[in-house]
Structure 1
Amino acid sequence: MSVGAVVFDIGNVLIEWQPERYYDRAIGEERRRAMFAEVDLHAMNDAVDRGGDFAGEVAACAARYPHWAEEIQLWHDDWGRIAGPAIPGSVTTLEALRRAGVPVLALSNFGLAPFEIGRRAWPFLDSFDKRYLSGALGMAKPDAEIYAALEATCGHAPEALLFVDDRQENIDAASARGWQTHLFTGPEDWGARLVAEGLLPPHWQAAP
């Protein structure tokens, strides 16, 4: 089936998400490794992604590990520097698809408060025809329910969705529902896939 809509993941597809890199700069690699070995910061972030209160989840985690409290609090207080920068080549594909009139959707594990920070930093996050954010839905990839929530209201058959994500488990969950998929390894391959699908012309990067 031809593609009716393109579904973008956000983290590590449109915006870099490498918290370890931020902490290496902020506290040094050795201390970062020690903290990440002791504190499951990604589990804390998953709770936010699933609708938990951003400030509250970070503060609770900091309270459980008082000797790391200041460093953990940075996850909230300096989130605008932990996330990013944007991945220019991927943002360009999003903009080109919009110019071409192709519906573009977002399906992302993203907390609501962090997303509002992101919108101020990266206006292209308002470019989607519809957004399906885990923080708003109370569910997250790769749970089947979040894919079903998108299918229920996006106006396209599952087989007409082309989904790009950087995590294999998220791709597998979409494929199991009949979605077309692309495992993101870089904007060049992603752009080539869009050309191969006939969604962008061969020389789309030169288009005004």
Structure 2
Amino acid sequence: MGIEAVVFDIGNVLIRWQPEIYYDALLGEDRRRAMFHAIDLHGMNERIDAGEDFREVVYGTADAHPDWAEPIRHWHDRWVELASPEIPGSVRALRALRAAGVQVFALSNIGEGTLALAEARYPFLAEFDRRYISGAMRAVKPSPEIYAMVEADCGLAPGALLFADDRADNIATAAARGWQTHLFEGPEGWAECLVSHGLLKKDDLA
């Protein structure tokens, strides 16, 4: 079956999402490790991805951990610095696909509040034909529910979707539903995948 739409994850595909790097610079690696050991900050973020209020969740976590309150609040107040920088090769691929007339979708675990901040910093996030955002959908990857919602909304057969994500569990669920998939490990491999499927030519990505 031919590919009719390419589906991008956002974090670690289009924008680097490794908060530890930010906190290493802020606190030093040892203190950052201590904070992440004491507090499940990624679990906190999963609540936001699932649809809870961005500021309420972060500030509530900070209030519950006064010894770490100030750096925890950075997760909200300086989020665009945590979610940085963009991955230029992936942005080129997104725009090249659109120029070639290929539909491009986003499927991302991200909250509505965090997406609003990201859009202001990264205009390319407004360039998708369709966006499937976990915080708005109240469903998260790798739950099969969110993939089924994508299929129902776009009306395309699973085999007509090519999905790139940096997490193997997210890829595995998509593949089990019949999606074509690519485990994202860098923009070079993603570009090669798109070329191999005949969606782009190497010159399109120069």
TM interval, shorter chain, is over 0.9
Aligned equivalents of 1:200 and 1:155: distance in 2? 23
- CA drift of 1:203 comes to 2.3
**Normalising to structure 2: TM-score of the pair?**
0.98
SS in 1 for 2:84: strand
2:19 is matched with 19
1:51 is matched with 51
Aligned equivalents of 1:95 and 1:180: distance in 2? 20
Deviation string, structure 1 residues 8-61 (Cα, Å, up to 9, x no partner): 000000000010000001111111000000100000000000000001001111
* 1:157 is the counterpart of 2:157: yes
Aligned AA for 1:92? R
SS in 1 for 2:107: strand
Moved more, 193-202 or 104-113: 193-202
1:1-208 mapped onto 2 (5 Å cutoff): 1-206=1-206
SS in 2 for 1:110: coil
- CA drift of 1:71 comes to 1.1
SS in 2 for 1:198: coil
Aligned equivalents of 2:71 and 2:56: distance in 1? 15
Aligned equivalents of 2:202 and 2:68: distance in 1? 51
Which contiguous aligned blocks of 4+ residues in structure 1 show a shift greater than 4 angstroms? none
- CA drift of 1:91 comes to 0.4
- CA drift of 1:155 comes to 2.4
Aligned equivalents of 2:186 and 2:18: distance in 1? 15
SS in 1 for 2:16: strand
- Give percent identity, aligned residues only: 57
Deviation string, structure 1 residues 143-188 (Cα, Å, up to 9, x no partner): 1100011000112111100000000000000001000000001111
**Normalising to structure 1: TM-score of the pair?**
0.97
- CA drift of 1:202 comes to 3.4
- How large is the Cα RMSD of the aligned pairs? 0.7
Aligned equivalents of 1:76 and 1:158: distance in 2? 36
- CA drift of 1:81 comes to 0.5
- CA drift of 1:80 comes to 1.1
SS in 2 for 1:105: strand
Q: How many positions carry a matched residue from both structures?
A: 206
SS in 1 for 2:200: coil
